[in-house]
């Protein structure tokens, strides 16, 4: 039985106006007020972060961002600095989501710089990794994930990564309705913990929360959470509706 506290995180991607985000956040806060054995996080689009953080202050729901830039300030049109996120009320930041790797040229190297910057700013980084369908079919899942973790955390020390969260999101399971089976996910999570033992040590590896993401819904969360190395979920589509997401949080 692990002592890791579950984390159920919602990634709202590029959905919701400020008004919609406020409404969903308020409803979620009400519906999860009694859920005191899990950590809860929502990551709205940048425009809604500050107002959602205002609503969520003094609640059980923490706020995160979906990305950040690694510099503290400068002439970087369109980018958001780590300190801007903490000022706006963020506690977490999602880094290296497969959609950013795919559409915005993120690499393990940019992910690594972002993780370091997040840690320095006191944000909890959620490092996203995952294999494509072609990579899984070619039996490359473990080697792809091994590289993503090792390159993403390169040069960082366990003492800096005390709150690190890893989210395993197989690309073929994102938004497709195809969830990895709980056994498939557990197999990967166990492997990832072994990679952390190699990189750091066993105590550190045991302390890191590893989330599963990819078509998580109320109907499959309990089964996923029953697995020894699955410590929570990063939820996309099913986090957009407060009632549905609350059912996942209170699995
Ligand atoms: P879905 O839950 O919509 O499959 O998305 C998963 C995801 O990408 C969360 O970051």
> Would you identify the CATH topology of the domain 7-249?
TIM Barrel (3.20.20)
Tell me, in angstroms, the distance from the centre of ligand 1 to residue 75's CA: 32
| pLDDT for residue 177 | 87
Catalytic annotation on 223?
no
Dist CA 201 CA 206 (whole Å): 9
| Cα–Cα distance for residue pair 193/205, rounded to 1 Å | 5
Q: What is the pLDDT of residue 37?
A: 96
**239 C-alpha vs ligand 1 centroid, how far in Å?**
9
Q: Residue 21: CA atoms inside 13 Å, Cβ hemisphere, count?
A: 25
Please give the model's pTM, rounded to 2 decimal places: 0.98
Residue 147: its H or E element: helix 141-152
In the set 97, 99, 106, 189, the catalytic residue is 97
Q: Which residues of the chain have pLDDT under 70?
A: 1-2
Which of 75, 56, 68, 58 shows the shortest CA–CA distance to 97? 68
- Answer whether 169 contacts ligand 1 (Cβ < 6 A): yes
Q: Please indicate whether residue 96, judged by its CB atom, sits closer than 6 Å to ligand 1.
A: no
Choose one of 7, 8, 13 to mutate for the ligand 1 pocket test, by most ligand atoms within 8 angstroms of C-beta. 13
CA distance linking residue 31 with residue 38, whole number of Å: 13
Listed by start position, the domains of the chain span: 7-249
Active site residue 109: no
The answer to whether 152 touches 119, Cβ cutoff 8 Å, is no
Q: Among 12, 130, 215, which residue has the most ligand 1 atoms within 8 Å of its CB, making it the best to mutate?
A: 215
């Amino acid at each position: 039985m692990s002592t890791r506290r579950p984390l159920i995180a919602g990634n709202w991607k590029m959905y919701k106006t400020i008004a919609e985000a406020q409404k969903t956040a308020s409803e979620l806060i009400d519906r999860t007020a009694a859920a005191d054995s899990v950590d809860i996080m929502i990551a709205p689009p940048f425009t809604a972060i500050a107002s959602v953080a205002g609503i969520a202050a003094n609640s059980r729901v923490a706020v995160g961002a979906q990305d950040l830039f690694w510099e503290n300030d400068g002439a970087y049109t369109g980018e958001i600095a780590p300190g801007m996120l903490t000022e706006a009320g963020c506690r977490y930041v999602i880094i290296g989501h497969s959609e950013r790797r795919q559409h915005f040229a993120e690499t393990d190297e940019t992910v690594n710089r972002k993780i370091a910057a997040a840690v320095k700013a006191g944000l909890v980084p959620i490092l996203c990794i995952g294999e494509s369908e072609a990579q899984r079919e070619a039996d490359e899942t473990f080697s792809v994930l091994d590289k993503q973790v090792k390159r993403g955390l390169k040069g960082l020390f366990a003492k800096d990564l005390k709150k690190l969260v890893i989210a395993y999101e197989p690309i073929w399971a994102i938004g497709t309705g195809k969830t990895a089976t709980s056994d498939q996910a557990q197999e990967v999570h166990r492997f990832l913990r072994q990679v952390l033992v190699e990189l750091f040590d066993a105590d550190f590896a045991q302390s890191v929360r590893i989330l599963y993401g990819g078509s998580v819904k109320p109907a499959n969360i309990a089964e996923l959470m029953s697995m020894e190395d699955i410590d929570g979920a990063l939820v996309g589509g099913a986090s957009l509706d407060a009632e549905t997401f609350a059912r996942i949080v209170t699995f």
